Structure 1
Amino acid sequence: MSEPIKALVRRFFTAVENGHFEVFDEIVAEHYDDHLPGRTPGRASLVAYFRGLRAAFPDLRLPISQMIAEGDRVAVLNAVQGTHRGDFLGIAATGRRVDASAFQLYRVQDGQLAEHWEVADFATLQRQLTGPA
């Protein structure tokens, strides 16, 4: 069971990187529950978030360094990389490259991503955007 759900998460990351959000109808549950503060539940909200993220970082990459699956859960350690070309968290485009790490945990149900938790290094990300060049 672990390989199919790991493949699902890889497919999700690839869709985000390439802006192929139409794939979300197939791989993300309609009532997707994102446990990050400030996120509204639902697939449509997730698409809107990633459209905004890709507008801010058009060359967004999310390389996975580690992935573990057990039961209906997939844990991912990945990087968030890109060039800041648009507004992000109230910060106007800086043209700076970012490279920060994130830890994601997904729950899969009926072949779709159903829930998400994340711990990301937002301090490093903000420092890369606002600190000395």
Structure 2
Amino acid sequence: MSADNKEVVRRFKIEVIQNGNEDEFHALMASDFVNHAAPSGMPNGPQSMWNTFQNILRPALSDMKVTIHDQIAEGDRVTTRKTISGIHSGTLMGIRATGKDVAISVIDIVRVQEGKYAEHWGLNSLSNVLAALAKV
């Protein structure tokens, strides 16, 4: 079970985040998914995840890549330490393109149920990246 859950999470990170594959997104998301990492007052269902990657990161980062450093699975939860990287070639949350390399460190926990993302919790370094880009 743990190996299967790790593969679901790995597939999401590569196919959805890195490659922007919408079919895989729909195949891997439970309809009642909850994103516990969504900002307060913002939607926290499946579309909250798609919005983050497709409407915020993808337009701002060319050559976007996901590097998985560690994955630990226990029961129905998978914890991943990863980096989302790319070149800041478009506006990112109000900051115009700088052409700089960007690396966002992420640690997240995903609860997998029946081969789909059921819940997500996460921490990332996006605010630090934005502060550094704003100084350029």
TM-score normalised by length of structure 1:
0.90
Whichever structure has more strand as a proportion of its residues is 2
Superimposed CA distance per residue, residues 2-50 of structure 1 (whole angstroms, 9 cap, x where no aligned partner): 1000000110011120111211111111222111214412223322221
1:41/1:31 Cα in 2 relative to 1: closer, same or farther (>3 Å)? farther
Q: Is the 8 A contact 1:98 1:128 kept in 2?
A: no
- Is the contact made by 2:89 and 2:98 (CA closer than 8 Å) also made in structure 1? yes
What residue in structure 2 maps to residue 28 of structure 1? 29
Counterpart position of 1:12: 12
Take 1:17 and 1:96, find their aligned partners in 2: how far apart are those partners?
18
Counterpart check, 1:41 vs 2:41: no
**Separation in 2, partners of 1:41, 1:10:** 21
- What is the DSSP-based 3-state SS (H/G/I as helix, E as strand, rest coil) of the residue aligned with 2:106? strand
Matched residues in 2 for 1:77 and 1:49: separation? 18
C-alpha distance in structure 1 between counterparts of 2:123 and 2:52, whole Å? 17
Instruction: Give runs of aligned pairs for residues 48-87 of structure 1, distance below 5 A.
Output: 48-52=51-55, 53-87=57-91
CA contact (8 A) 1:100 1:122 kept: yes
The two structures, once aligned, show a CA RMSD in angstroms of 1.5
Q: How does 1:85-104 map to 2 (within 5 A)?
A: 85-104=89-108
**Structure 1 runs of 4+ off > 3 angstroms?**
none
Q: Report SS of the residue matched to 1:80.
A: strand
Q: Mind listing any 5+ residue stretches in structure 2 that lack a counterpart?
A: none
Deviation at 1:123, TM superposition (A): 4.1
Q: Which moved more, 1:67-76 or 1:20-29?
A: 20-29
TM-score when normalising by structure 2? 0.88
Percentage of pairs with the same residue: 36
